[in-house]
Amino acid sequence: MALTLIFVSFSKAVSQSLDPAFRSVLLKGIGLAIVFLFLVFLGMGHIASWIFGSSLSLPWIGSIDISTAVSIASFFLALLLSVFLMVPVASLMSSFFIDDVANAVDRKHYPHLGDVAKIPFSQAISETLKFLGLIIFANLCAFVLYIFFVPFAPLIFWSLNGYLLGREYFQMVAMRRIGRTEAKKLWRKNIGTLWTAGIFMAAPLSIPLANLFVPILAAATFTHLFNQLSHVPYGGTNQDPAQ
């Protein structure tokens, strides 16, 4: 039952990605992710140039332009690091588009629920930064497990970030209609289903380039899951999101 609900919710999210309102948010999200990864790419290049200088002399090869070599190496390194970087990026991006994605989903699939007031940006940023700090700390600690349990590293990565991102995205979506307190209660009540959904969202984050699409699709998927699990009464917001 839980897997069916997750699959149906994700399928609806993917199918709506072609809608103009949804597509514009999708493109903005991808653009933000690309900009962030590009800045990381530039930063690594500047750091390497500062360490090695403008050129490097290698035996039998001679002098090579360090900027060119670093640019090529940094590009592939940035793709590799995006597997880990896209997790905090996905968390950080939630404060920028969660309302737009959720509203687009609600208008198309749940128009009877009515509109809700946007979560104040300051509150959205505050909630996101709390989750972001937790995600960064948890993933840094998890590197120890990756080293000692190498064959299970992907499963640890997906399980950990599936829990963290699933919790963040679901609570951010739920807060729009039932407030923070009730959102946490609903998360705990359905933690098995929502954690599983989070794992399905976290797994593609480990695929370079494909991971650019995940944050938007995750926001839409958890909007569907919230509306199916909460049975929110008709007519819009039930509580102040801050409560």
* CB 45 within 8 Å of CB 70: yes
Average pLDDT for runs of 10 along the chain of length 243: 89 86 74 73 66 54 55 62 72 78 90 81 80 86 87 91 92 90 94 94 81 85 93 48 53
Q: Give me the residues paired with residue 62 across strands.
A: 58
Q: Give me the residues paired with residue 55 across strands.
A: 65
How many Å separate Cα 100 from the centre of its chain? Answer: 15
pLDDT of residue 144: 87
pLDDT of residue 72: 61
Q: Domain-by-domain residue ranges, the chain?
A: 2-19+84-230
* CB 66 within 8 Å of CB 55: yes
Buried b / exposed e along 58-93 (16+ C-beta atoms within 10 A)? eeeeeeeebbebbbeebeebbeebbebbbbbbbbbb
pLDDT of residue 88: 78
pLDDT of residue 8: 93
**What does the CA dihedral 145, 149, 153, 159 come to, rounded to 10 degrees?**
-60
Residues with Cβ within 8 Å of 94's Cβ and at least 6 positions away in sequence, in order, are 124, 128, 131, 168, 169, 172, 215, 219
pLDDT of residue 27: 78
Where does residue 202 rank: exposed (0-12), middle (13-18), buried (19+ CB within 10 A)? buried
pLDDT of residue 234: 40
pLDDT of residue 70: 57
* Residue 10, token pair as written in the block: 């994700």
pLDDT of residue 238: 46
Helix (H) or strand (E) holding 58: strand 55-58
> What pTM did the predictor assign?
0.78
Rounded Cα–Cα distance for residues 99 and 173 (Å): 8
pLDDT of residue 237: 45
